[in-house]
Structure 1
Amino acid sequence: MDCIHLQQTLPAVFADRNSIESDVWHKDIRFEKKGIYLIEAASGTGKSSLCNFIYGYRKDYQGIINFNTDNIRSYKIKQWVEIRKHSISMLFQDMRLFTELTAMENILLKNNLTHFKSKKEIVSFFEAMGIADKLDSKVGRLSFGQQQRVAFIRSLCQPFDFIFLDEPVSHLDDTNGEIMGGILMDEASKQGAGIIVTSIGKHITLPYTETLKL
Structure 2
Amino acid sequence: MKIEFPYETNQLSLEYSGRDETTSALKEVTVCFPKGTISILGGSSGSGKSTLLNCLFGLKRPTKGTIKYEGHDVTNWSNRQWAELRQNEVHLVTQQTVLFPYLTIWENLCFVISPRDKEQLEQAAHLLESMNLIQNKHRYPRELSIGGRQRIAIVRALLGDPNVVLADEPTSALDEENSRIVMDLFMHYAVKGTTFIVATHDPSVMTYGHHCLKLKDGEVVNEVS
Same structural fold, with TM-score higher than 0.5 when normalized by the shorter chain: yes
**1:131 counterpart residue number:** 133
Count of residue pairs brought into register by the alignment? 209
Q: Is the 8 A contact 1:55 1:90 kept in 2?
A: yes
The answer to whether residue 11 in structure 2 is matched with residue 8 in structure 1 is yes
**1:152 counterpart residue number:** 154
| 1:71-82 → structure 2 map (5 Å cutoff) | 71-82=73-84
Is 169-178 or 204-213 further displaced after alignment? 204-213
Q: Is the 8 A contact 1:168 1:204 kept in 2?
A: no
**1:194 counterpart residue number:** 195
Q: Is the 8 A contact 2:7 2:69 kept in 1?
A: yes
Q: Is the 8 A contact 2:169 2:201 kept in 1?
A: yes
TM-aligned CA deviation for residue 10 of structure 1? 2.0
**1:33 counterpart residue number:** 35
Q: Is the 8 A contact 1:162 1:195 kept in 2?
A: yes
Which deviations, in whole Å up to 9, do the C-alpha atoms of 1:182-207 show, x marking residues without a partner?
A: 222222322x1221111134552653
SS state of the match for residue 140, structure 1? Answer: helix
| 1:157-168 → structure 2 map (5 Å cutoff) | 157-168=159-170
**2:45 counterpart residue number:** 43
In structure 2, relative to structure 1, the CA distance for the partners of 1:54 and 1:151 (3 Å cut) is same
**2:205 counterpart residue number:** 204
Which deviations, in whole Å up to 9, do the C-alpha atoms of 1:153-183 show, x marking residues without a partner?
A: 0001123222111111111111111111222
SS state of the match for residue 12, structure 1? Answer: strand
Which deviations, in whole Å up to 9, do the C-alpha atoms of 1:19-68 show, x marking residues without a partner?
A: x9xxx741321112123211012112222222221111221533221213
Task: Judging by fraction of residues, say which structure has more strand.
Answer: 2
| 1:101-140 → structure 2 map (5 Å cutoff) | 101-112=103-114, 115=117, 117-140=119-142
CA distance in 2, matches of 1:35, 1:114: 31
TM-score normalized by the length of structure 1: 0.85
TM-aligned CA deviation for residue 128 of structure 1? 1.8
TM-aligned CA deviation for residue 115 of structure 1? 4.4
In structure 2, relative to structure 1, the CA distance for the partners of 1:72 and 1:203 (3 Å cut) is farther
Structure 2 gaps of 5+ residues are 216-225
TM-aligned CA deviation for residue 73 of structure 1? 2.8
Match 2:98 to one of 96, 99, 111: 96
Q: Is the 8 A contact 1:169 1:203 kept in 2?
A: no
CA distance in 1, matches of 2:103, 2:178: 23
SS state of the match for residue 50, structure 1? Answer: helix
CA distance in 2, matches of 1:126, 1:120: 10
Which deviations, in whole Å up to 9, do the C-alpha atoms of 1:81-127 show, x marking residues without a partner?
A: 33113321211111222222211111111112894843233122212
Structure 1 gaps of 5+ residues are none
SS state of the match for residue 10, structure 1? Answer: strand
Is 173-182 or 72-81 further displaced after alignment? 72-81
Greater than 6 Å deviation, 4+ residue runs:
none
**1:87 counterpart residue number:** 89
TM-score normalized by the length of structure 2: 0.81
Task: Judging by fraction of residues, say which structure has more helix.
Answer: 1
Cα RMSD, aligned residues only: 2.6
